[in-house]
Structure 1
Amino acid sequence: METCSSSSDKKTVEVGNGNDFKVHVFSSSSELLEKLHENWSSVKKKPYPAMYSSIFGGIILDPALMVIPVDDHMVHRGHGVFDTAVILNGHLYELDVHLNRFLRSASKARISSPYPKSTLRSILIQLTAASQCKKGTLRYWLSAGPGDFLLSPSGCSSSAFYAIVIEEDILQCKEGVKVITSTIPMKSPEFATMKNVNYLPNVLSKMEAEDKGAFASIWVDEEGYIAEGPNVNVAFLNTDKELIVPLFDKILSGCTVLRLLELAPKLVENGRLKGIRTDNLTVDEAKSASEMMYVGSSLPILPITMWDEHPIGDGKVGDLTMALSDLLWEDMVAGPETQRIHVPYV
């Protein structure tokens, strides 16, 4: 039995015999806003200094209002794509590269942007400036948009663009981590090569690793070749001092690992590396590598020293791994202006 009661200032829904949980009904938007602010009142340092929403048509600085409609098809159907750029020392690293991939993903997902690329870029730079964040990540999404709860986006009046700045400490990783081989099925190539919001396999893969005391996992494809991590690429150094990255035909071609492949020839020139290649690697070949690492935007390189309780090389962080990490880190901090976009903070 359900009964409803109301007064001049509030409404409640009583479930069962009246002694069960009572659901509060907000009587006004001002009351709801007060509750949203109350939820953030105990948070001393707000992790999200600014958000952009095409639904609102502007930048939001109040974290209590950083919301998206529940009928947005990205929320209930997963019809959306996303990407990320690193904010470091007041610069956006590889924004254009990430933005190009973002729009390629949107095209594969059949989502049209509400703005041209130049406008998206301008919004992201202005959002970062408004956030006053000098170190963190800039994450952004294109969705089919709000409209209804059906499968088809035909009822959505327009696609939607959202972006948020997350303040976090981006540091060079110098300690090694443990990984496992994931038992969670990886996504098919059609979806793995598109950076979409359907990340449940990635989440379960990460949770599986944490359950076993590892940092994250490694996916192996149906042919027995190394694929990728749950949200990062993986790379290896064999005993011949070759840098090997798995082929990108079934996995996401990470912007950071592609940049690593552009920078790594410097180590070939000075004799530290013998060669660089993308190739298929079996599990046995990969586990016999002398060094192993994750490669991703906010790492940029994370050494891997143990895989399925099997040490990689001597089980310590390798010198070549750190040399590659130094190359990427230097590129992020003080590399060419073509990679770093200055943010005009007020």
Structure 2
Amino acid sequence: MASLEIGSGSDYKVHVFSSSSELLEKLHQKWSLVKKKPYPAMYSSIFGGIILDPAMMVIPLDDHMVHRGHGVFDTAIILDGYLYELDAHLDRFLRSAAKARISSPFPQSTLRSILVQLTAASQCKKGTLRYWLTAGPGNFLLSPAGLPTSAFYAVVIDDDFSQRKEGVKVITSTTPMKSPLFATMKNVNYLPNVLSVMEAEDKGAFASIWVDEEGFIAEGPNVNVAFITNDKELILPQFDKILSGCTAKRLLELAPKLVQQGCLKSVKTANLTVEEAKSAAEMMYVGSTLPILPIIMWDEQPIGDGKVGDLTMALSDLLWHDMVAGPDTQRLSVPYIN
């Protein structure tokens, strides 16, 4: 069938797809140019199953997550064929959903089963598993009251990551951080986070640090932050106004091993001023795919001696070992389909 063109009063004409098959052919043409599929599998509760064709990995435009930001998400790591800390992330996921007043279309056990089956179908042995709960599709109104059902989406992202050993530079963000209500739930409204990272990149830094209205250290744009004092205390900011990072909480569980070995004096969460934080001996980001990223300079001021610290790497080794060889409570073997 000949393609249809609609004039818009200018020289530019918009193509009108005459059929779904024509559109699908166009999408397949686009993906045929991609050598390696970055997203080997997706799940959609709207479709009711797992999708392996990247051309069909779409969500409705009238989903309230798209046009109102009414959605929450979370992530789990896939490493060597295991899902790391899936249950901890799922628990936080549903806490975020409750704060956002989104009910799940499935119980937690079913969500977990879907995610495991999705990972198995993807055949991905190393990457990330990201998933969303949304108010659902149905209209373009503000209130979700008239929507037929909430929606659950998930995608496997084929990603190669490794233990981070090089230090990075950061800045203090001038982008206002989220209020505690929104900062403590992992919602999809990440514009402040995006602008914060862009500001850092504009200044030649890796990312940024948020400081709360009381002058205490908060977090990075999508990671927690931790410090080692000159007295060898490991301190993370308290979680009352920021996201309680699953990796950060796991670090707090593992780090006492270094206290027992005499490497650290103590491990705790506490409020830290900017002055106290900048005078730390070592500093690091803490996040799922890092799991530790050393920070060696902040606002053009060296942290400690300006080099990656030994204790930072010792903590990184603890977390990385937990990811690759930790207990069954942390690692779930994926039943891949042959």
Coarse TM-score class (shorter-chain normalised):
over 0.9
Q: Establish whether residue 10 from structure 1 lines up as the match of residue 3 from structure 2.
A: yes
Mapping of residues 76-91 of structure 1, within 5 Å? 76-91=67-82
Choose from 273, 293, 297 the match for 1:302: 293
Identity score, percent: 81
1:336 aligns to what? 327
Choose from 32, 38, 62 the match for 2:29: 38
Choose from 71, 75, 78 the match for 2:66: 75
1:173 Cα offset (Å): 0.2
Mapping of residues 85-234 of structure 1, within 5 Å? 85-234=76-225
1:9 Cα offset (Å): 2.4
Q: Deviations over 1:282-337 (max 9, x none)?
A: 00000000000000011100000000000000000000000000000000000001
Letter in 1 for 2:16: V
Three-state SS of the structure 1 residue aligned to 2:145 is helix
In 2, the alpha carbon distance for the partners of 1:53 and 1:262 equals 35
8 Å CA contact 1:52, 1:58 repeated in 2: yes
Segments of 4+ moved more than 2 angstroms? none
In 2, the alpha carbon distance for the partners of 1:232 and 1:258 equals 12
1:5 aligns to what? none
Three-state SS of the structure 2 residue aligned to 1:161 is strand
Structure 1 unaligned spans of 5+: 1-7
In 2, the alpha carbon distance for the partners of 1:40 and 1:311 equals 45
Report how many aligned residue pairs link the two structures.
337
1:276 Cα offset (Å): 0.8
In 2, the alpha carbon distance for the partners of 1:291 and 1:233 equals 15
Letter in 2 for 1:105: S
Q: Deviations over 1:28-77 (max 9, x none)?
A: 00000001111111100010000000000000001111000000000000
Letter in 2 for 1:33: L
8 Å CA contact 1:77, 1:151 repeated in 2: yes
1:292 aligns to what? 283
Three-state SS of the structure 2 residue aligned to 1:155 is coil
8 Å CA contact 1:85, 1:297 repeated in 2: yes
In 1, the alpha carbon distance for the partners of 2:40 and 2:54 equals 7
In 2, the alpha carbon distance for the partners of 1:330 and 1:344 equals 22
Three-state SS of the structure 2 residue aligned to 1:285 is helix
TM-score where L is the length of structure 2: 0.99
In 2, the alpha carbon distance for the partners of 1:211 and 1:37 equals 36
Letter in 2 for 1:51: M
Structure 2 unaligned spans of 5+: none
8 Å CA contact 1:293, 1:303 repeated in 2: yes
Letter in 2 for 1:13: I
Q: Deviations over 1:253-291 (max 9, x none)?
A: 000000000000000000000011100000000000000
1:88 Cα offset (Å): 0.2
In 2, the alpha carbon distance for the partners of 1:31 and 1:301 equals 47
Q: Deviations over 1:120-173 (max 9, x none)?
A: 000000000000000000000000000100000012100000000000112000
1:262 aligns to what? 253
Three-state SS of the structure 2 residue aligned to 1:153 is coil
Letter in 1 for 2:126: K
8 Å CA contact 1:88, 1:170 repeated in 2: no
In 2, the alpha carbon distance for the partners of 1:158 and 1:303 equals 43
In 1, the alpha carbon distance for the partners of 2:50 and 2:163 equals 30
Choose from 317, 327, 333 the match for 2:318: 327
In 1, the alpha carbon distance for the partners of 2:8 and 2:60 equals 27
Three-state SS of the structure 1 residue aligned to 2:181 is helix
Q: Establish whether residue 235 from structure 1 lines up as the match of residue 226 from structure 2.
A: yes
Letter in 2 for 1:153: P
Letter in 1 for 2:276: E
